[in-house]
Structure 1
Amino acid sequence: MTEYWEPGTTIEWVYEGTGRHADLPNVRPMTVVRDDADGLVAWLAPGTPLLKPVLVDGREVRHAGPVGMFTERRVLKLDVWRGTGILKVSPPGKPWSVWCFWGADGTFRGWYVNLEREHVRDWAARRTSTVDHVLDLWINPDRSIEWKDEDELEGAVEAGRFTPAEAERIVADAHAAIRDIEAWTAPFSDGWEMWTAPAGWRVPAAPTTHQPELIAEELHS
């Protein structure tokens, strides 16, 4: 019998670290909206405390450039999600998740396809884990498609994060996602852009899996 999380359950949506950064994951506590044979849907609320890798001086990883972001030393930082909330959908059997974004005024901005490894669940820890594949797609409300972070995928290959063959498979996955978008299949056709979070939902507590003091130790070493 297939197991699913109940709506309202707090889980951790984890992007695992890789290579020299294997012990530095990105951990986002989220609330389950729906979980069934059609996929996992979870909500990242504004103000949610999270753990994320940053450069040792505290700057965002991307500040190191498309190659350095994969080679420079990192530490974990306890931070807060400062943007508007994100609704994330992990379709079964797909190497990507689909994120819904809204503006500060509640206007729907578009869908974001995050290329990533198919998720693996840890039921005891209430955690769903994946690995980010760097390349992304942005879908505007008019369904026009934009490619994102192609330079970072090239940098990942140059840095040895991916082999050229792996990068080719990631690009092929993006094209597969585009076919789903053009056919307007689920989850794009599911109407999630109209969803709003229940007023009674609380912001999840900070992750406890890893110690954010690592950033302080690195900065003073």
Structure 2
Amino acid sequence: MRFEPGRLILHRDTHHGRIAFVHPGRVISDDDRGLLIWVARGAAIAVERTLDGRGPRDFPFADWMAAAKQPRAAAWNGPGVLRFFPPGENHSVWFFRDDEGSFTEYYVNLEETAVRWDDGEAAGIDVTDQDLDIVARADGTWFWKDEDEFAERLARPDLYWVPDEAAVWAEGRRVIKKIEAGEFPFDGTWVDFRPDPSWTAPTELPQGWDRPVTTRS
């Protein structure tokens, strides 16, 4: 399954069958290299929150998992961001920008590979964020991010959705080799991307955004 360029699809982060966030993105390309989408500033999103509006970083992990939660409407308030999902790989690469639209850094989300779905009116990808991340600069320097959060959650295997800590670290180290070598997509590809000025940020999510999480084979 591939998505047509220009189509609006949904990027969903999912945990144990729950939807942690839904971000609509415009398809830039979808080919053998992978799926590239653009999430615009101001786009309508949904984010999982407790009933009193708090997020996962407002609690110890066990308390967050025990709390009653639901997706809440919000907006993507940061600069627009490109997101690249290489096929069959357990990470995505986000191209962060400043308010003027200039590239600032690569943000590597370590996650279970994207699973695609298409219901007609709504379509998208479901991933499972594994929390450990990498921030990389254009000069090949990098650093780990959220190691403490990853460790805290690994200490609760009865609650956490990451079954194999070693596999996550191994994927990160594999990506770091690409960063240091300046290999695609860390070779300057897409750092000068500019979105089509006719694209407007979606003001609401399409019907079906909360469809059941896609089962992984």
Partner of residue 133, structure 2: 136
Q: Pick the aligned partner of 1:31 from 22, 26, 30.
A: 26
Distance 2:182 2:64 in 1: 34
Q: Which has the higher helix share?
A: 1
User: Conserved in 2, the CA contact under 8 Å of 1:30 and 1:204?
Assistant: no
Aligned pairs for 1:17-28 within 5 A: 17-18=15-16, 22-28=17-23
- Matched to 1:153, the amino acid is F
Count of residues in correspondence between the two structures: 206
User: Conserved in 1, the CA contact under 8 Å of 2:97 and 2:105?
Assistant: yes
Q: Pick the aligned partner of 1:45 from 40, 44, 47.
A: 40
Q: Which has the higher strand share?
A: 2
Partner of residue 13, structure 1: 11
Q: Pick the aligned partner of 1:127 from 124, 129, 147.
A: 124
Partner of residue 202, structure 2: 204
User: Conserved in 2, the CA contact under 8 Å of 1:87 and 1:100?
Assistant: yes
Structure 2: gaps (5+ residues): 211-217
Partner of residue 145, structure 1: 142
Do the aligned partners of residues 70 and 144 (structure 1) sit closer, same or farther apart at CA in structure 2, a change above 3 Å counting? farther
Distance 2:154 2:50 in 1: 20
CA offset digits 1:1-51 (Å, max 9, x no partner): xx4212110001111132xxx333311111001111110000000000011
SS of alignment partner, residue 169 of structure 1: helix
Q: What percentage of residue pairs aligned between the two structures are identical? A: 29
1:69 to partner: Cα distance: 4.2
CA offset digits 1:131-156 (Å, max 9, x no partner): 11110000023221010010111111
Distance 1:63 1:97 in 2: 25
Partner of residue 171, structure 2: 173
SS of alignment partner, residue 180 of structure 1: helix
1:98 is the counterpart of 2:97: no
Partner of residue 153, structure 2: 156
1:205 to partner: Cα distance: 4.2
Partner of residue 217, structure 1: none
Distance 2:136 2:177 in 1: 13
- Matched to 1:147, the amino acid is W
Aligned pairs for 1:61-140 within 5 A: 61-65=56-60, 68-124=63-119, 125-140=122-137
Structure 1: gaps (5+ residues): 212-221
1:108 to partner: Cα distance: 1.7
Distance 2:126 2:60 in 1: 26
